[in-house]
Amino acid sequence: MPTVTLLQRKPVSELISATEEGSHSLRRSLGALSLVALGIGAIIGAGLFSLTGIAAAENAGPAVVISFVIAAIGCAFAGMCYSELASMIPVAGSAYTYAYATMGELVAWIIGWDLVLEYAVGAGTVAVSWSRYVVSLLAGWGIFIPAGLAASPFELVQYGDGTQGVGLVNLPAIFVLVVISLLLMRGVRESSFVNGVIVVIKVIVVLAVIICGAFYVNPSNYHPFIPPNTGQFGEYGWSGIMRAAGTIFFAYIGFDAVSTAAQEARRPDRDMPIGILGSLLICTVLYVAFALVLTGLVYYGQMRGDAAPVATAIDRTPFAWLQVAVKLGIICGFTTVILVMLLGQSRVFYSMARDGLLPTTFARVHPVWRTPYLSNLVFMVFTGALAGFIPISQLGHMTSIGTLLAFVIVCAGVALLRRIDPSAPRSYRTPLVPVVPALGIIVCLAMMISLDRATWVRLVVWLAIGLGIFFLYSRRHSRLTLAAGGD
């Protein structure tokens, strides 16, 4: 058996030097603006267009605006911790790499394996939703995709002749995953440019809804701003505001994916904190303004059970073109979320392979594109299969718990590194340590506890599979184990 322990840590200096090896180095081509756009691309998605109405109708009323601020504060705790570690350890792999440097190899494997699944399921889920909106948009233009080719074999569909049957394969979902994977293989600079263009379109659409809708707000819809509690915890009042904050917390998930690109940032010590905290700040402002306009256009009680509250709100304005624009904005939002999730997924997998915990083939970098193209290729097939053949109801349950677990580990990692390596250079320092990391851990654990039992079971099963791989393969092939003279 290896002579090293399961909690062996990888020194920060070794993590950084390993990234500069010729066969494993990635191209540093991302500036602060590109990283901010990457974060906005990951954060603003369907959550803005759906969760706002749900949280207002069921929990907080117009005070959902306060919920967005509370959720942003919770994310900021984790974001500040991510910023310190990303500027201190400018290496691909995000929470996996940070855990390796602070808590040891076993914890790093657990969080890396967890993130691989979370990004895969998340990208597959969003791809299925992307497919539905694209099919709907094309139908409005007179272009019809056969129902059986836009649904999984486990979903009932209605064909053009009125008969019902099951789907065959969700081709649009597979299509978008293949295109984005090929784009990521081609190069992160090219992917960043495409992401930037789509983010601009998406933000313009969001601003159009805010600006155009502001002229038609009915002030009476804001009364009462904090509806009185019904007697049930979470149904209006301050308990409703807190429950709504827990719901819309997931609309902020995505900024952590920025840290997976640390090894491709031109000046990671400066650019990573700007990318993480800048994208969070911009999205918070947009979310608050959007929530104000939405609840001003439509009385919160009328949004209960409404699957498309934004479309309902736009109906209150004379701008029919906004209906199409919002649908286009949602599609753009989905596209950038898929791009950033696939980027993060491949970088975590690449980092684990580079450390010997997975076959080193997946750490191979393309000689011209300087991207981990084999990792991208593997997940193009894996995620494409999920999106093409599994219904969204089965995909959608694992997309949050993995990220929250990563947040907990990152917050704990900051506090640990301050104790075990206090003299290490830190271009960005999380304020009020250990208070801020502790608050981040508390908020994230509270969100995890609120998730349903089935989600926890899936996570435990996936981690059990991962631990089997770790003890049968990874521990024996780890570069740290081999360097220490292990078998």
Opening angle at CA 32, ends 29 and 37, nearest 5 = 95
pLDDT category of residue 23 using cuts at 50, 70 and 90: very low
- Rounded mean pLDDT, 456-480: 90
Contacts of residue 105, defined as CB under 8 A and 6 or more positions apart, other chains included, come to: 6, 7, 8, 9, 10, 357, 475, 478, 480
CA distance 350 to 316: 49
**Residue 22: what pLDDT?**
46
- 89 lies in which domain range? 12-483
Q: What are the residues facing 187 on neighbouring strands?
A: none
pLDDT category of residue 370 using cuts at 50, 70 and 90: confident
Phi, psi of 288 (to 5 degrees): -65, -45
Residue-wise DSSP of 348-406: HHHHHHHTTSS-GGGG---TTT-S-HHHHHHHHHHHHHHHHHS-HHHHTTSTTHHHHHH
Highest mean pLDDT among 211-225, 378-392, 394-408: 211-225
Query: Is 1 inside any structural domain?
Result: no
Asked if pLDDT for residue 17 goes beyond 90, the answer is no
Phi, psi of 158 (to 5 degrees): -110, 125
CA distance 61 to 53: 9
Is the previous residue joined to 224 through a cis bond, with omega within 30 degrees of 0? yes
Q: Where are the beta strands (DSSP E) in 33-79?
A: none
CB neighbours (10 Å) of residue 425?
8
User: For residue 348, what are its two tokens?
Assistant: 């975590």
- Grouping H, G, I as helix, E, B as strand and the rest as coil, residue 267 is coil
CB neighbours (10 Å) of residue 163?
8
Query: Is 155 inside any structural domain?
Result: yes
**Which tens digits make up the pLDDT trace of 246-281?**
777 767 777 776 766 666 777 777 787 888 888 889
- Rounded mean pLDDT, 409-425: 86
Range with the lowest mean pLDDT among 64-73, 155-164, 180-189, 234-243? 155-164
Average pLDDT of the chain to the nearest whole number? 81
Asked if pLDDT for residue 472 goes beyond 80, the answer is yes
- Grouping H, G, I as helix, E, B as strand and the rest as coil, residue 166 is strand
**Residue 92: what pLDDT?**
60
Share of the chain above pLDDT 90, in %: 16
Query: Is 6 inside any structural domain?
Result: no
Contact between residue 59 and residue 240 where contact means Cβ atoms under 8 Å apart: yes
Chain centre distance of CA 262:
16
**Which tens digits make up the pLDDT trace of 58-75?**
888 999 999 999 888 888
Range with the lowest mean pLDDT among 128-142, 187-201, 214-228? 187-201
More confident residue, 92 or 192: 192
Q: Which amino acid, one-letter code, is at 319?
A: F
**Residue 3: what pLDDT?**
44
Asked if pLDDT for residue 349 goes beyond 80, the answer is yes
CA distance 334 to 4: 44
CB neighbours (10 Å) of residue 175?
17
**Residue 65: what pLDDT?**
93
- Rounded mean pLDDT, 37-47: 75
Asked if pLDDT for residue 414 goes beyond 50, the answer is yes
Query: Is 140 inside any structural domain?
Result: yes
Contact between residue 296 and residue 221 where contact means Cβ atoms under 8 Å apart: yes
- Grouping H, G, I as helix, E, B as strand and the rest as coil, residue 227 is coil
**Residue 6: what pLDDT?**
66
Contact between residue 418 and residue 435 where contact means Cβ atoms under 8 Å apart: no
Number of domains in the chain: 1
pLDDT category of residue 151 using cuts at 50, 70 and 90: confident
Burial of 76 (0-12, 13-18, 19+ CB in 10 A): buried
Model confidence, pTM: 0.74
User: For residue 363, what are its two tokens?
Assistant: 């750490």
Query: Is 301 inside any structural domain?
Result: yes
Q: Residue 350 maps to which CATH number?
A: 1.20.1740.10
Asked if pLDDT for residue 486 goes beyond 50, the answer is yes
